[in-house]
Amino acid sequence: MLTSSRTDGAEPPAAVSATGLRKSYGDKLVLDGIDLRIPAGSIFALLGPNGAGKTTVVKILSTLVSPDPASGAIHIGGHDLAAEPQAVRGAIGVTGQFSAVDGLITGEENMLLMADLHHLSKREGKRVTAELLERFDLVEAAKKPASTYSGGMKRRLDIAMTLVGAPRIIFLDEPTTGLDPRSRHNMWQIIRELVTDGVTVFLTTQYLEEADELADRIAVLNDGRIAAEGTAEELKRLVPGGHVRLRFADPAAYRLAADALREATGDDYGLTLHIPSDGGQRELRSILDWLDSLDIEADELSVHTPDLDDVFFALTGGTGVPETSEETVR
């Protein structure tokens, strides 16, 4: 496992810690010994492809599913998960793929129901509900059935309901999956605000951009293990440098360039070539000179610096080079 070194001196207390977390379903091993340590008041992102086991981690850490007996200790908010599951439940909030929103009742009723579940008095329940509906921009929709809410509104209501219990640690399982870009950015803002209030956020995501934007630390889950863990910058340093991408409209020009340039990797289907390069002026000029000397015209040239996508693809065994973080120069 690649684990970045810590540069800070005294470590803040861990909101979540686990050692040797293991889980099998029948003879299918899903988690094969995972270690986690998430400092209080930080955002941690667990990144992984479909089926990597992200939801399973969240379910275990939030007491919904038991880990295998061979697992090491798990502590959440200072409580031993095996010995004090009730105390753990009192310290956490969980939202995500298994949303608690009831579509048949209104947003406000959902909130009041949650307040009841947390044994708040009627008066306190109403106060907290009004405050959270306001904070999550749901006042206008409060009296409408939640089934009429957009995806973004449902997620906001879901988080608002989670906050009724004033949890110190919040698990967000793929909080922005299926949201449009504006709703996604709104959700990011909400998540950032949670942390400024001192809450610890554990989020799972398939979106590298999301982890890059939000997380203090990121772990990449692959094949039941943490393949790498660190800040976004530390993870980006794990993969080799960038490349220049040449895209051709003419298959003959593509073939000519691919045959001439042995160090490039080609995508025959997309008619693109990736040339390892730091993207500097000198290297770009030599690529252009080389194209000119062969009388080959590329339809697009773009510079690609390593990003989290590269880390993800390198660590999770994906193929191809994603399209993000490219600076098109022609």
Interface positions with ligand ATP (CB under 6 A):
25, 30, 48, 50-56, 206
Cβ at position 183, least distance to ligand ATP in Å: 19
Residues 6+ apart with CB under 8 A from 313: 319, 320, 321, 322
Q: Between 56 and 186, name the residue whose CB sits nearer to ligand ATP.
A: 56
| Number of Cβ within a 10 Å radius of residue 252 | 9
Q: Between 55 and 95, name the residue whose CB sits nearer to ligand ATP.
A: 55
Q: Between 48 and 165, name the residue whose CB sits nearer to ligand ATP.
A: 48
In this structure, are residues 108 and 142 in contact, taking their beta carbons and an 8 Å threshold? yes
Burial of 161 (0-12, 13-18, 19+ CB in 10 A): buried
Cβ at position 224, least distance to ligand ATP in Å: 9
Cβ at position 2, least distance to ligand ATP in Å: 20
Cβ at position 48, least distance to ligand ATP in Å: 5
Q: Between 68 and 131, name the residue whose CB sits nearer to ligand ATP.
A: 68
Cβ at position 68, least distance to ligand ATP in Å: 13
Residue among 209, 147, 157 nearest 181 (CA): 209
Burial of 225 (0-12, 13-18, 19+ CB in 10 A): middle
In this structure, are residues 329 and 303 in contact, taking their beta carbons and an 8 Å threshold? yes
| Number of Cβ within a 10 Å radius of residue 67 | 23
Residues 6+ apart with CB under 8 A from 70: 20, 22
Q: Between 55 and 129, name the residue whose CB sits nearer to ligand ATP.
A: 55
Q: How far is 233 from 87, CA to CA, in rounded Å?
A: 35
Cβ at position 30, least distance to ligand ATP in Å: 4
Q: Between 66 and 189, name the residue whose CB sits nearer to ligand ATP.
A: 66
